[in-house]
Amino acid sequence: MSGPSGDPEQEHDQEHDHEDEHDDGHGYRHLRPDRTGQAEAFDRISSRYDEAFPDKEGQLAATEWLVGSLPAGSRVLDLGCGTGVPTARRLSEAGLEVVGVDLSEVMVALARDHVPAGEFHRADIADLRPGGPRDLGRFQAVAAFFSLLMLPRAEIPLALRTIRHLLVPGGLFALSMVEADLDDFPIPFLGGRIRVSGYRREELRAVVEAAHFEVVGESAWTCVPAGPDVPPEEHLFLRCRKPES
């Protein structure tokens, strides 16, 4: 059922935006996100990233779920797109309209090279928040593979809210995270350091459901990265849907 605007989605978001006014501006105002070193770390390792993580089975399967579920020409956002390989490239080759966003300028440049038909922006996930500085329009699907884990835990629900806002009603959301009980924790990474967050799998599901997504599928893959300083990881994939209303 739609409200006075006739657009149920807008109504729903307005309700949430109103709630967020009491939260002093979508929750971001109190956060002061600190990205020190994060973009630089990915700038530095960008050319080695795909070699260091060759085991992409789970990601490829989640990408195929999007390809098989979306009509040709659908707009898909690859959030934290990295080099554009394999996700943005596969989505683009499948006839979808791909927009990629990444904090790292070097990753964005590589993605533009790898996926000429895609549109890529250097931006922070936080910039895409409702009322934030970057409005890229609405999408039939969002993929966020191993990018939300670069945020402190306090910010992850806000990023999920941003993704919900970017999706049309019924839109699809493919999420992957590394299973870990960590919050903004510095780890060695390909010769440098990055800060990462994670959850145990039940908790991740709860966080995603609390952000008003339906979880329609879930899988886990054990991944052995090729890098010398990265131990085996459990990769969690959630296939989600934004409810129609």
Ligand X SMILES: C[S@@+](CC[C@H](N)C(=O)[O-])C[C@H]1O[C@@H](n2cnc3c(N)ncnc32)[C@H](O)[C@@H]1O
Distance of CA 55 to the CA centre of its chain: 19
Does 190 interact with ligand X (rule: CB under 6 A)? no
Query: Which H/E stretch holds residue 47?
Result: helix 38-52
**Span near ligand X by CB under 6 A; candidates 8-16, 34-42, 212-220, 235-243:** 34-42
What is the number of other CB atoms lying within 10 angstroms of the CB of residue 51?
12
Q: Is the peptide bond before 86 cis (omega within 30 degrees of 0)?
A: yes
Stretch that binds ligand X, among 24-32, 63-71, 142-150, 167-175 (CB under 6 A): 142-150
Q: Does 66 interact with ligand X (rule: CB under 6 A)?
A: no
The single residue among 70, 102, 174, 223 that binds ligand X, judged by CB under 6 A, is 102
Q: Which of 28, 65, 120, 145 binds ligand X (CB under 6 A)?
A: 145
What's the rounded Cα separation, in Å, for the pair 229 and 245? 45
Question: For the purposes of burial, counting CB atoms within 10 Å of the CB of 68, is it exposed (0-12), middle (13-18) or buried (19 or more)?
Answer: exposed
Q: Which member of 138, 146, 184, 205 binds ligand X (CB under 6 A)?
A: 146
**Residue 4 CB neighbours (<10 A):** 8
Query: How far, in Å, are 77, 119, 213 from residue 100 at the CA level?
Result: 6, 6, 22
The reply to whether 104 sits near ligand X by the rule CB under 6 A is: yes
Stretch that binds ligand X, among 10-18, 23-31, 66-74, 96-104 (CB under 6 A): 96-104
Q: Does 185 bind ligand X (CB under 6 A)?
A: no
Least separation in angstroms between CB 168 and ligand X: 22
206's CB contacts (< 8 A; 6+ apart) are none
The single residue among 80, 118, 130, 171 that binds ligand X, judged by CB under 6 A, is 80
Between 8 and 152, CB nearer to ligand X: 152
Contact residues for ligand X (CB under 6 A)?
38-39, 42, 59, 80-82, 101-104, 107, 124-125, 145-147, 150
